[in-house]
Amino acid sequence: MDGGSSDGTLEQIEAYARSQERVRYLSEPDRGLYDAMNKGLLLAQGEYVCFLNAGDSFWAEDTLERLFAAAPPEADVLYGEHVEVNSEGQILSTPRHRPYPRGELRKAHFRTGMRICHQALIVRRQLAPTYNLKYRLAADLDWTLRLLSQNPRTYDSGQILIRYLAGGISARRLREYVWERTSILYQHFGIGAVLESGWAILRHKGLGGYPRLNPA
């Protein structure tokens, strides 16, 4: 999905599409990141979907092959770890804000915020909801909670899946993001989750964050 860019991106997409017949793309103005992702979801035809934004990539060229070779065929949501990288692709030593959840991934894991990077969730397309455009910065949290409300069958890969470009729009508009996240947690869990989220932030700062999984 391309938001009608004029910086040469579209030419690169077109060249790639000519060499990969399964690639489909759309370039037009949109109403923000999540509107573009909704368009992509409606165009997708594969069994599973995964959202990678500009600057994000899979951990290795064979990440998906290894993931699906190990996962049970009935899995609806496959997930794993991510590392943060800078614009040069260098891995940053950024600690996790929340501990990595092991085992069956459930809605309750997200009472204090995102425990899995949105890009590291690979979801059966038929179960993937559309994004609520009421949220401009934290719609991925609401999306994940609505997804997990369906009690899908989940698979923990226990591996790093994604290189995530740090410094996205939510980091640049942090106050607005925190307000949206708080509203979403209150809507799904009530005031108790809002208080738990505040405590988790304080604990994270006091502990210096949580360790990440090591590369396989």
Domain ranges of the chain: 47-207
Tokens 């990678």 map to which residue? 52
Mean pLDDT score across all residues of the chain: 93
How far apart CA 134 and CA 214 sit, in angstroms, is 36
pTM to 2 decimal places? 0.93
pLDDT above 70 coverage of the chain, percent: 100
Q: Would you say residue 149 has pLDDT above 90? A: yes
pLDDT digits (tens, 9 = 90+) for 78-109: 999 999 999 999 999 888 988 999 889 999 99
Q: What is the pLDDT of residues 159-173, one digit of tens each?
A: 999 999 998 777 778
Question: How far is residue 85's CA from residue 165's CA, in Å, rounded to a whole number?
Answer: 5
Is the pLDDT reported for residue 215 higher than 90?
no
Task: Tell me 86's DSSP state.
Answer: -
| Residue range 187-197, pLDDT digits in tens | 999 999 999 99
Q: How far apart are CA 77 and CA 105, in angstroms?
A: 9
- Averaged pLDDT, 41-67: 95
Classify domain 47-207 by CATH architecture. Answer: Alpha-Beta Complex (3.90)
CB 189, CB 109: distance < 8 Å? no
